[in-house]
Chain A
Amino acid sequence: MAATPLVDLHDLTKRYGDGPVVLDRISLAAAPGDFISLIGPSGCGKSTLLRLIAGLSPLTDGTLRIDGRTPEEAAAELAFVFQEPTLLPWLTVAQNVGVPLKLRGAPAAQRLATGARVLELVRLADRANAHPRQLSGGQKMRVSIARALSLAPKLLLLDEPFGALDEMTREHLNEELLAIREAQAWTAFFVTHSVAEAVFLSNRILVMSANPGRVHTEVAVPFAYPRTAATRLSREYHDLVTEVSRILRSVETAEA
């Protein structure tokens, strides 16, 4: 029997006011442990979908359940990573990572212990007392991910978190993200523009089309975890990247 879905969307529809339909009757079930990438032309609503799941924006129609609850009720299980690191510049790295726990009223000792643990995960324990401006772009993003992990979320929502980084840094962070996932069983939704990144990270890729936003094709990624830098060298990986790129291009030309 299939596991009960962690995220369950049924006929989810979104439009802003009287504007055009942004997301049109999306149905989707994410099993615990899924790593789902959302990819598609700009305007296909992939970021909007992520924001709906996060409860940052209300749905117009349909149902959305996380662990059987609404996003508001399930807020404690969710963490969101934005494209920008969104760190508080006046706080140190350790204090930034402690912000979610602080907002929840956790005592300082717990914030410190959790902070140290998640900074260890992203290999930034030695920069705990630095301020964000002293970090590189990749390091800032790692702090942002550490902050998201500090509440031990069941569901991690990532909105193009590595989009602004150079390719080498991005590949390293992809590998790190999967390594962290080995130790922590979260489920992820990952919005990206990079086919290579989507194939490397996910077990499911949803290629979306625009106007209105729909799921065009779902591609299963069969490679076993753990995946490493070597995965990128394999023939199967290249074939799948080509395949997904082809689908994405067909969606984009249908558009134009």
Chain B
Amino acid sequence: MSKRLLNLLLPAATGVLFIAVWYAVRFSLSEDMQFLLPSPGEILGAFRTNGADLAHAALNTAEGALLGFTCAIAISSLLALALSVSSLVRVSLYPYLMMLQMIPVIIFAPILILWVGPGLKSVVVITFLICFFPLVVNTTQGLVSTDRNIVELFRMYRATRRQEIFLLRAPAALPYFFTGLRIAATLAPIGALVGDYTAGSSAGDGGGLGFSAIIYSSQAKYPALFATAAVTCVLGFVFVAVVVGLSWLAMHQWHDSYERTDN
């Protein structure tokens, strides 16, 4: 059987098995406990009844995730450049970057609401905070990990600082950058969800998936809650897929990780 076909069939088989186990567990529960685990059919039903609301919430969350993610990419890239230029700057700032990553969203959210108000702005800031660290760490690492001999070669050819950064260090850092981007892409939708849950606003239809989760759990609409989780997963997959695609575009021609092998 061809490798490609197997790569499609195996995950599909796992999925079928998973759903079978799911149904088995569900129907082994006593009638009064079955609400704990809605069947996949009930969850699909929840999509039908709450589809419009979920789609709307998903779009709101996607917007917050995308904005926060984009800001994190832009600012982390600039900061990584600054950090890569001088080890003094690196040493001075690194502990505070760590601190930025350690900020507990649950505590920070009410402060943020005081500062910028609940809603999209807060969601964007929280997403930014969650995505920022892996991006800046990986990109900086990439910018300072350039092959020393090639750096010397550039210096021998009297390359300017700007040439060294843009013709050598930046492209050499791409694999590291994309590693950070992949991690950040899985975090962005979760960041936006948590942001929405803790600092979102439903005013003017501004509620996202975090807000949906609050509503459905308070109304004991468990199938809808599961549907919300599924939508969040899909959002995460979309983010990762886009990053994987961009990474392929940027590197498949030259990077070893895209080398075709026979086995």
Contact = CB atoms under 8 A, between A and B. Distances in A.
Interface stretch (B104-112, B125-133, B154-162): B154-162
Interface string A48-86: 000000111000000000000000000100101010101
Interface size class of B (residues with CB under 8 A): 20 to 34
Contact of B254 (A75, A99, A103, A131): A131
B159 A103 contact: yes
B28 interface: no
A78 B156 contact: yes
Interface in A88-113: 88-91, 99-100, 102-104
Interface string B141-164: 000000101101111111100010
A149 B44 CA distance: 67
Contact of B255 (A54, A78, A86, A89): A89
A254 B209 CA distance: 78
A40 interface: no
B256 interface: yes
Contacts of A88: 150, 168, 171-172
A86 B149 contact: yes
Contacts of B152: 56, 80
B254 to A, nearest CB: 5
B30 interface: no
Nearest to A101: B157
Contacts of B168: 88
Interface residues of A, number: 22
Given A82-B149, A86-B149, A103-B163, A54 B156 contact: yes
Contacts of B157: 75, 99-100, 103-104, 151
A166 B167 CA distance: 32
Interface in B238-259: 251, 253-256, 259
B254 A102 contact: no
Nearest to B259: A133
B174 interface: yes
Nearest to A83: B149
Interface of B: 147, 149-150, 152-159, 163, 167-168, 171-172, 174, 251, 253-256, 259
Interface of A: 54-56, 75, 78, 80, 82, 84, 86, 88-91, 99-100, 102-104, 131-133, 151
